[in-house]
Each structure stands twice: as structure tokens, then as C-alpha cells.
């Protein structure tokens, strides 16, 4: 149960999934863009949740 957040009345787990759809199945996210997306994600998770959590990139 430690992976769930909780408050007075509930336990919950927030999950986000980003899907980028492109025309003709071309790759649109290069390595440099992916690196920047990771930096932004890590920063925003830490800033808004005030703690470090596990973020998985595929």
C-alpha cells in the first residue's frame, strides 16, 4: 500500500500516460527532446508533489 497516496477518506494512485500521434508513423521525439521532457517531468513532479517519485520512460 505504500505506492498509494492517501488522505482522510481515500487512498489513490495517479497515473499519467502521454501519447504523441504523428502522421505517417515518423519519429517526432529525438533524444534531445526526450531528455528535456524528462527534465521537465522530474522538476514538475518534485515541485508540485514536494517529493521524489518514480517516473518510468519508455
3-58 per-position pLDDT tens digit: 787 888 988 887 777 777 777 777 777 888 888 888 888 888 777 777 666 666 66
pLDDT of residue 44: 80
pLDDT of residue 53: 66
The SS3 call for residue 44 is: helix
CA end-to-end distance (rounded Å), the chain: 25
Asked if residue 1 has pLDDT above 50, the reply is: no
Nearest Cα to 57, choosing from 44, 42, 48, 10? 42
pLDDT of residue 54: 66
Domain definitions of the chain by residue range: 5-49
Q: What is the pTM of this model?
A: 0.51
Amino acid at each position: 500500500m505504500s505506492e498509494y497516496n492517501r488522505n482522510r477518506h481515500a487512498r489513490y494512485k495517479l497515473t499519467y500516460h502521454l501519447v504523441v500521434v504523428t502522421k505517417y508513423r515518423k519519429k517526432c521525439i529525438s533524444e534531445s527532446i526526450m531528455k528535456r521532457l524528462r527534465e521537465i517531468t522530474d522538476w514538475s513532479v518534485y515541485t508540485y508533489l514536494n517529493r521524489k517519485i518514480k517516473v518510468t520512460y519508455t
